[in-house]
Every structure is written in structure tokens, then in C-alpha cells.
Structure 1
Amino acid sequence: MKSHHLHRYLRALWRDTRVLVRQFRVSLIAFAMLLCGGTLALRFFYLYPESGQRPGWAEALHATLKLIFLETILPFPTVPGLQLLFIVVPLIGLAVVADGVLRFGVALFNRRERKEAWQVAIASTYHDHIVVCGLGKVGYRVVKELLRLGEDIIGIECNAERPFLEEIRQANVPVLLGDARQREMLEKACVREASAIVVCTQDELTNLDIALDARELNPDIKVVLRMFDAQLAEKVKRGFGIHTAFSTSALAAPIFAAAATRAQIDYSFYVDDVLLNVARATVQVGSALEGRTIAQVEQELDMTIILHQGPDSIDLHPAPDVTLRAGDRLVVFASLESLARLREMSGEQRSPSQGGTNSPRRRPWTARLFSRGKTSSR
């Protein structure tokens, strides 16, 4: 993995250097011509006053560099043409160096000051990656999950003040600042070489616009689209050939509904109008689950146990003959009805916040209102 990142860094470095050379090519060419011309003139026409000898190539080059930076190591010549050279070279060199070469050097060795250009250079080295458009709360979570899965990611965000951008950059994810609706931004993110694009801004039309542009640039790209209306999401999938269009409300509704129940539910979704849930349960001492096997619980409660955590190990695919003990933790895949029965069998009690039998009963609001009035009158 380290060699992969090093290779990508070197490629980005080479690409960024080529961009800088192209940007400052006029100043660099002028500097090179001035350096070569001055070196040739000193090498063939300058004579030392004392010895009458000509300087060598290295000495002539060194003397020309000194002249460009307003210094000299050679005595002032007596030949009028060389005298003019000693005057003109510093003036031209000062203008050329001050205008272009120094700025080129600063840009070349101080890439942190050129954040956006450097991010584009890194992004240009990506291939078979995933582009995430919109790095708000949803986009930030998408990036985190994709990083956990080991995917290469490029982010696009139009708001430079987003609170998560710096954290995303620190995770070695290149972030391009700009409007993803502009094809130039998608080109910078190498959408043509990407395997998928996740569009999760807060505007449905913007999301659709970006998705269609990405599909036009790369017909084989997988598009994951964030929508807010379930019917519109379904129409987009059918009408535009978008691989996956998710309705935010459709995803959130089952989670909210399931979270309102007593089960410890982590995730919920619908399959053909059937609400399915991923939930956790703990086997309590003396409960009906204690002593039963995985197969017995699955058959009796019509659920699938996808994880079993015992005192010493965690098994993502527990064997059917594993016997449950007190303290074992389970992650199950089931309907709400099955989860309710599982909770009863596991021996878990309702917390006071869920209205347990020991929680104090709240008085009606009228009684509380009149009692408050009596207290204030005293």
C-alpha cells in the first residue's frame, strides 16, 4: 500500500511539474536564452586583462549567473560589446527572474500554497476510483464508509467552508473545489476512468444534472444518486437508466419507525413492502434463549443470526449447533415481529425511558397546570 501511494505521489509530482513548466514557459525560455547567450559571449569574447586568456565553460556559466543576479566575478571588460553585455544582462535578468523564475520556484517547492492545483494533480493519477459529489454530512459519511472498504475516492465540493473538507483531505482523499455541474470539474475528477460516482448534494435537479453528465462522459460508470422523493427516484431509474437512485425519505422512514420500537435496531429497509431489520440482542441469565442452539432460535423465531459473540470470540457465520450462553451477544436479521419475540426470550427489560413499570407515571397536564398556579399563589 505504501509503494502504491509513493507511486501515485511521484506521478502527481511529475504531472504538476509539467503543468508549472507549461504555465511559466515564456519566462523559463527567456531565462535559458539569457543564460546561454551570456555564457557563449563570455566564453569566446572575454579576455582577462592580466593574462589575456579566455574563461572556461564552467567559469563563463558561473559568471553569467552572477551577472543575472547583479553580481560579478570578472573584471569590467574594455571591449564595448562586452561592456554593454555587463549592463544589459543584469537588467533583463532582473525582470525575467523577478517576473517568472522566482514565482516558478516558489510554486514548484511550496505546493501547499497551491492546494487546488495540487489536488488536481493528485486526482489525475486515479483510475477505477469512485467520485463523490457533495461533501456535506451525507457525503462525508459516504467517504468514510468507502475508505473503510478500501476504495480510492475523489471528492468534489462547491463550498470551501464545509467543516469536513480538511478531515477528508487528511485521509489522503483529493478534494476538488468547484461546481460538479460543470464538465470541467468532472474531467478533473477523471470521471472517464472512474468506476462509480455518488451524487449526494441537497438539490435533486443538481444531482440529476451531474449524474447525466457523468453518464455521458463515461457510459459504463455506475451512478448512485441521492433523491428526496421516492416516486421521482423510481422514475429516474426507469427513465434515465441510472443504476441506483435512493430516496432519502424512503431510506430514513423505516429507520425512524423501527427506532421507535423497543428493539435495539441498527439498520432497517424495505424489501417488497416488508420491513427488515438488523438488530442486536444479549442473552440474559435464565432467559429462554439460554441453552438453545443457533438453529433452534432461527427456526423458532423465523430469523437469521448473522453474528454471534461469545466470551472468547466473534463468529460472523455461527454454526447451527452453537449453544447460547448467558452474556452472549447476537446480531440478527429479522422482522419487527420476530424481534419482539426475540426480546421476550432474551430476557431484556425495558429501560425507564421506554416506559417501564417502575417509571413514575406522569400527571395530566391540567393537574400540573393548576398545581403550578396554587404554588405561585402561595
Structure 2
Amino acid sequence: MARLRKVLRRSLLANLRVVILLWRRFRLSLSLFLAIIGLGSLILWLAYIHPEAGTRLTFPEALYAAFSMLFFQPSVPFPQGPLGILFFVIPILGLSVVVEGLVSFSLLLLDRRNPTGEWAVALASTYSGHIVVCGLGHVGYRVTRQLVEFGREVVGIEKNSQSPFLERIRRLGVPIVLGEASNPEVLEQAGVRKAQAVVVATNNDLLNLDIVMHVREINPNARLVLRMFDADLAERVGHFLGIRAAFSTSAIAAPAFATAAIREGVLHSFFLEGELLHLSEIVVHPAGELVGNSVQEIEERLDLSVVFLQRGDRRDMHPAAELRLEAGDRVVVFATLEQLGKIERLNCPRR
């Protein structure tokens, strides 16, 4: 039910944005059209006299007459005098505006499937409180996909029109602005001024810093997340520029790669206050010593945290302290490498 409400909400927001987009794009044409019809109706109402009956038009009749003139099918007889010019001006001007609007609308609809076209730029201009992702390569694509799964509204910026990820991102419903993210005009097109956060994820440290400086000028209050190769530089820059989070992707990945090379079951590894910590998965062996122990007993004995337990179809994100482990339970623990070694030894079959 919650998922259905989420889908309906996103669909409603998408349709609302389309309406806003069409209004912004065609408000001038629509205003001109209404002005032509309105002014023509007013002139007919005030000045037109029926050449045969000598009567004047009511305002609804004048309005209908102005509309009918658009198709060169006036509902009232052609008048004598200079008022007759109106019978040529209204259809010429009115049809010009209508044709221009129809052509522009058709081109915009045809451009809708282009992930980096005018439709995407126009749609991005309707966003507010969204997240802008600069650089849609391997990292940027995955960040964008994760944000969409979180239910957040995202606008992407990418300079490479041949990027293999553009079509995948378009299928996620994310508008993409094509251009250099260090260009203030491109940032404005992506709605950085109204964005809640900006993720700078290109693979060029200097370019990322340049982007950050421009984002700060446009929107000083935006939350900034920065990707950098040099972990030390990322930390210093993050503190100096007031960046909420600066990450080195290589530094994040390295512990996971190294740990996975020497131990199975490690899901994720990272440094916290200088200590390498791991999320690791363990399947309780029926002949191991873990069977029958409670979650609390394991945590106290081994000084680790049990953060997830799956038993059959049941999943528990916060296992109760008194819950006792059974054979086949899938357990995820948060621990150091040394603690992982201890729990694995306990899980080995008794000899």
C-alpha cells in the first residue's frame, strides 16, 4: 500500500511538472492568443453595428464572432467602414499564434524521448528542493539510481552526450542537462539555485573543486557532497569549503577489496575514527557453537553488534537481545577483523 501511494505520488508530481512546463513554455503564445481574442471581442462589442438590422452585439456574441473569424468563417456580416480591417487582422494574427504554438508543442513532444534535449532542460527548470548530480559516469549513475530508489527528485548534469548511462538514467525519469557542470549557466539550467543538495561526482578532482566554487556562489545553502581521489585533500577541502561530505571513492573501496581478498562474507568495510570496521554475513552452522546462543550473549562475549537476522522469510533489522540463534539463520554483524575471526571460529563445526 505504501509503495502504491509512493508510485501515485511520483506520477502526480510528474504530471504536475508537465503542466507547469507547458505553461512556462507557452504562456506567451497563450497570452497573445487571449489578447487578440479579447481585444477583438471588445472592439466588436463597442463598435460593431449590424449592416442590415442596425443592432449591436452582446459581449458573448462578440466573443463568439471573434473566435469564428480565426477560421475565416465570421458569424456576423462584413461591416462597412474601417471596422472591416478587423475581419482580416484577427484571423491572420490569431492563426499565426496558433500555428506557432502547435509547431513548438509538436517539436517539444518529439524531443521528449531525448534524454538531454530541450524537454529535459525545460522539465529541470520546474524542480525545487531536488538533488543535482554532476557527472553521470559509473559513480554518478549509481548515486542517481540510489537517490531515485530513496524517492528523491534528481536532475543530472553530464558533458558527454555519448555516455552509456544516459539512456538508463532517462528511464529512471531523471532529466539530464547536457553541458559542463563548471559552467554557471548549466548549473542554473539544472536548478542548482533551488536545489537542496548537489553531488559532485566527476572523475576530475580539479574540475570537482571548480564546480563546488560555482555552486557555492549560486546557492550557498545547498548541501554539497564531493567526490575526490585524494582522501587527505578531500578532508581538508571539505573542512575549508564547508562541504557536508567529501569522499574518496578509492579510499572507500580499498578496505572492502582488501578484506574480501582474505575473508569471505564481508559485505562492506570502512574506516571509523582510524579503525577498520566491517559488515559481514554469517550463516549459522548447525554443528557450530553459535546455535542456542542469544543475540545479547554473542554481542557481550565477542564485543560486536548483530545488526540483521533472517530466519526463513522473516527479516529482523534489529534482532531482540533475547532471540536465540538457530541453524541456518543468516546473521549480519558489525565488527573488526579480529572479532570476525572469533565469531567464525565459534561457527565452525565442533570436533
TM-score, normalised to structure 2's length? 0.79
May I ask how many residue pairs the two structures share in their alignment? 339
**How many angstroms does 1:99 deviate by?**
4.2
Residue type of the partner of 2:238? K
Paired residues of 1:16 and 1:118 also in contact (CA < 8 A): no
Residue 100 of structure 1 corresponds to which residue in structure 2?
97
Amino acid at match of 1:13: V
CA distance in 1, matches of 2:85, 2:272: 86
Q: Which of these two proteins has the greater Rg computed from alpha carbons? A: 1
| CA shift digits 1:265-323 (9 cap, x unpaired) | 11111234432211111012212322233233334444221112224632222233322
Instruction: Using the TM superposition, give the Cα deviation of residue 36 of structure 1 relative to its aligned residue in structure 2, in angstroms.
Output: 2.9
Aligned counterparts of 2:44 and 2:317: Cα–Cα separation in 1: 79
**Partner of 2:109 in structure 1?**
112
- 1:196 corresponds in structure 2 to 197
Report the counterpart of residue 20 of structure 1 in structure 2: 26
What is the correspondence of 1:271-310 to structure 2 with a 5 Å cutoff? Answer: 271-310=272-311
Deviation at 1:171, TM superposition (A): 3.9
Equivalents in 1 of 2:94, 2:24: separation in Å? 19
User: Which amino acid in 2 is paired with 1:17?
Assistant: W
Superposed, which structure 2 residues align to 1:157-236 within 5 Å? 157-236=158-237
- Runs of at least 5 residues in structure 1 that lack an aligned partner in the other structure: 349-378
Residue 360 of structure 1 is matched in structure 2 by none
Q: Supply the AA of the counterpart residue of 2:99.
A: L
SS in 2 for 1:260: helix
Cα contact 2:50–2:77 (8 A) shared by 1: no
Maintained 8 Å contact 2:33/2:98: no
User: 8 Å contact 1:277–1:335 — kept in the other structure?
Assistant: yes
Pairing 1:327–2:311 present: no
Q: What is the identity, as a one-letter code, of the residue corresponding to 1:244?
A: A
Per-residue deviation, 1:250: 0.8
- CA displacement, residues 186-236 of structure 1 (integer Å, 9 cap, x when unaligned): 334443443321110122222111112222333333211111222332332
**Structure 1 stretch 137-146 or stretch 112-121: which is displaced more?**
112-121
1:40 aligns with 2:43: yes
Measured after TM superposition, the shift of residue 183 of structure 1 is 1.9
Task: Give, as a single letter, the amino acid of the residue that structure 2 aligns with 1:305.
Answer: V
Q: Deviations over 1:50-97 (max 9, x none)?
A: x454555444443443333333444555x35455555x437xx33x34
The Cα shift of 1:163 comes to 3.9
* Alignment partners' CA distance in 2, 1:35 and 1:219: 45
- 2:290 and 2:318 map into 1 onto residues whose CA distance is 18
Structure 1 residues 222 and 53: CA distance shift in structure 2, 3 A: closer
Distance 1:33 1:311 in 2: 70
Is the Cα contact below 8 Å between 1:107 and 1:114 reproduced in 2? no
CA distance in 1 between counterparts of 2:55 and 2:311 reads 91
Alignment-derived partner of residue 67 in structure 1? 69
| Equivalent position of 2:3 in the other structure | none
SS of match in other structure, 2:328: coil
Deviation string 1:22-56 (CA, Å, 9 cap, x unpaired) is 4x48xx5487347634763587345344x454555
Distance 2:147 2:84 in 1: 67
TM-score of the two chains, using structure 1 as the length reference: 0.74
Sort the Cα spacing of 1:52 and 1:152 in 2 relative to 1 into closer, same or farther, 3 A. Answer: closer
